[in-house]
Amino acid sequence: MAGVNRVAADFGWGGPREVCSQGAMIRFGKTLKADPSQGGAWLERRMKFLISIFLLSGLAVRAGALGVGVGQSPSQATQMLQSDGILKTIGNAAVRLEGQRLVVTRKDARLPMVMDFARCQGVGVTWDREQWWVLPIDQAGAQIDANRALWVLPGDAGSPENAWHVELQGGMLHAEKTGGGLTVTVEAESATLTKAEARPHSDEFGHRFALEFDGGPALEEALAGFYWGTMLPSVVERTMAAHFPYSDGYVLSTLNVQSYAGSYPAVDHEFQIKGRLAMGSDADVDVVRRMIELQFKLMKDDPEGLWRAPTSVQPNGTREYHVRRNSEDRRENAAMFPLTGDIEVVEEAWHYYEARKDLGWLRAHIENLEHAADWILANSDQYGRVWSDVYYEDQVMKDGRETEAQAFAARAFELLAGMERLLGRRAKAEEFAGAGKKMANVLTAPLPLGYWDEKNERFIDWVDRNGKVHDHLHLLANELPVTFGYATKSQAAAVRKLIDANQGEFERFPSFLAAKVENYDQSEIGDGGPYDLCAAGRYWYWDAAYRETNAQGGMLQDQLKTVAAEGAKHGYFMDERYDMDHVYYIDGKDSHGAQKYYEYPNTFAAVLITKYLGLTIPADADLRVAPQLKSEGSVEFATPAYAVRYSYNGNRFVLKNLADKPRRVRVDLSGLGAGAGQFALESKRQGDRLGGQWTLTLAAGEEARWTKE
């Protein structure tokens, strides 16, 4: 059955269990029962699989002793396999070498081909219900079915052994985790096998990326490690979550489900979505759509009918719509993320629209976004101030109105107004544009009405419901009004001065919450301790956005190198928070919180691709290229959303369209290089310049060239 996967694993919140996926068997633990609705069909299929394995034990050959086609050198096909050890045997197959790939053809049509891999994990790719699904397989006993491809990766990201990409042009494959390996049964006339790095430098369809500049290979390796090690295995919609009450769009925040097994629409989905949209594959964008639609469903299912986005949804379907936390001294109390998810989903929907240009989808969901806006407005006062409580830091007692939430809300209403205009809903567009403008105006107004501290020339962190101002030089509270273009010129200049003066604290690790984390008192810290008074990926993403706005490509590169180096130490797994053994966590370690956490891997992908390499998909073009590179070299992304290669040698920039069709491209070279001078497009017929950007249409395979004046 296409797209149906079978999982066997006990993820730690109960005993052995059996679950059925669209009529297929899912086995947890050692219990095995057939689905009564299938009659004997399932049992027959299972017995056929076991009998096939038994019969093929006499037909299978070692990877180093495979048969080859007539007229082919016996060493060619085997040489490709002998250099790595995870592919052990292929049964019932003739093998031939075609270029850099192996083609395996079934010998006995009555039996499947069977491949055995050792010391590995897998990621299946399947097409079902007119969309792509990712099927990670790593837990002992887990099983999946896929109809397009299976990637088999060495268990260790640093392994010298290769990964294998098994592709189908028809038929089905079944993979089962057996001990440390995988047994793959292929019900198809043929399949192709291609080698890749232990963590492939490609998306799940094999579209490769390459970063050839100073420091680029380490960033390329980190991107691959984070993508295949955390980002893809976190997608458990049709594996672990296949029979949860909410399954489509269910993405884990940590692979260590003993820490958190839920999916978290507030905060976590925002950065999961940013990372996947940056990677840009069709499968990644399909996951994003389902994540957004999951949020809409959870909002619709709010038992109070308020369209609140919950903090989390748990495996048993429990939704957390209202979570309050006490301060460390138990004198204060604040709500966790009451508006965060509703504000975030507006930006998420906008970026999904940019990626797909799907007006039909936007029209179908615009009322969901309007409900989100209504909930935000219900928590705003007559001055346009949003009483958000906690927005990002769930262990800081922000019982009141905070600057970062105000900035995000103003921008969300601005984006929503733009979406309404696209749909021709003028009255709604004007309503939301007016609300956003009101929020932005009060954001930059001085205290006590607004958020700007005139005396100290900076934005404060939050004002509590008693009117008390709390301020410890909060990073995002100061950067966001500048990044979104709301700050006045004098405010922006003061913020730049503040950021520069405290750069050592903010950049202790990308990026610290505030410059004065030691000044938070016990009434400001949550009862879980100073958990968030450190660095986190969510702060880093928006810090990087500020750096991009200010053309600080060197800073972006330093941040990326720092995170990549930390990831390389631990097999490209990252922890939840990075305290750098500083102030509150003096324990000889640099991090705390859940291990194998989603946040830095996804943020790394988003910062690298969209902020530093400058590849994004705008609403009014097929591609935008705005690199922040400071060294010479080249960048290539074959993923169809980008399909681009560019190179820079100091005085020349060359951009090539790798797609097989014309593409409309916007190019901004203002952040490129370190020297003075502007770039000029060599062929004026290719495009026009407006301000600092060119807009041009490139034919399939066409290049455009710029030289520095």
Tens-digit pLDDT profile for residues 331-341 = 999 999 999 99
Furthest-apart CA atoms within the chain: distance in Å? 86
Model confidence, pTM: 0.90
Residue 626: inside a domain:
yes
Give how far Cα 217 sits from Cα of 54, 196, 214, 564, 567, Å.
45, 15, 8, 11, 14
CB-based contacts of 448, cutoff 8 Å, min separation 6: 463, 467
Residue 610, class by beta-carbon neighbours within 10 Å (0-12 exposed, 13-18 middle, 19+ buried)?
buried
pLDDT at 676: 57
pLDDT at 11: 26
Give how far Cα 541 sits from Cα of 272, 354, 388, 513, 577, Å.
12, 19, 21, 12, 14
Is the pLDDT at 71 greater than 80, yes or no?
no
Number of separate domains in the chain: 2
Residue 177: inside a domain:
yes
Helical packing angle, 599-606 and 553-569, nearest 10°: 150
pLDDT at 179: 84
- Among residues 198, 232, 266, which one ends one of the domains? 198
Q: What is the CATH number of the domain that holds 672?
A: 2.60.40
User: Given the DSSP bridges, would you call strands 623-625 and 663-668 parallel, antiparallel or unpaired?
Assistant: parallel
Place of tokens 């989905």: 269
φ, ψ dihedrals at 393, nearest 5° = -100, 100
Is the pLDDT at 391 greater than 60, yes or no?
yes
- Among residues 141, 170, 198, which one ends one of the domains? 198
Residue 218, class by beta-carbon neighbours within 10 Å (0-12 exposed, 13-18 middle, 19+ buried)?
middle
| Mean pLDDT across 570-574 | 98
Is the pLDDT at 301 greater than 50, yes or no?
yes
Residue 442: inside a domain:
no
Residue 647: inside a domain:
yes
Name the DSSP class of 327.
B
Is the pLDDT at 41 greater than 60, yes or no?
no
pLDDT at 366: 98
- Among residues 147, 179, 198, which one ends one of the domains? 198
Among residues 482, 457, 484, which one has the least CA distance to residue 471?
A: 457
pLDDT at 164: 97
620-679: per-residue pLDDT in tens?
Answer: 999 999 999 989 999 999 999 999 999 999 889 999 999 999 999 999 999 998 765 688
Is the pLDDT at 398 greater than 70, yes or no?
yes
Strand partners, 213: 633
Is the pLDDT at 40 greater than 50, yes or no?
no
Residue 98: inside a domain:
yes
pLDDT at 77: 57
Is the pLDDT at 67 greater than 50, yes or no?
no
Residue 136: inside a domain:
yes
Give how far Cα 703 sits from Cα of 57, 666, 700, Å.
54, 14, 9
Half-sphere exposure of 198 (CA within 13 A, CB side): 21
Residue 387: inside a domain:
no
Q: Which domain holds residue 172?
A: 18-198
Residue 703: inside a domain:
yes
Task: Round to whole Å and give the CA distance between 524 and 693.
Answer: 45
Is the CB of residue 82 less than 8 Å from the CB of residue 145? Answer: no
φ, ψ dihedrals at 18, nearest 5° = -120, 135
Give how far Cα 631 sits from Cα of 308, 548, 557, 559, 693, Å.
46, 16, 10, 16, 21
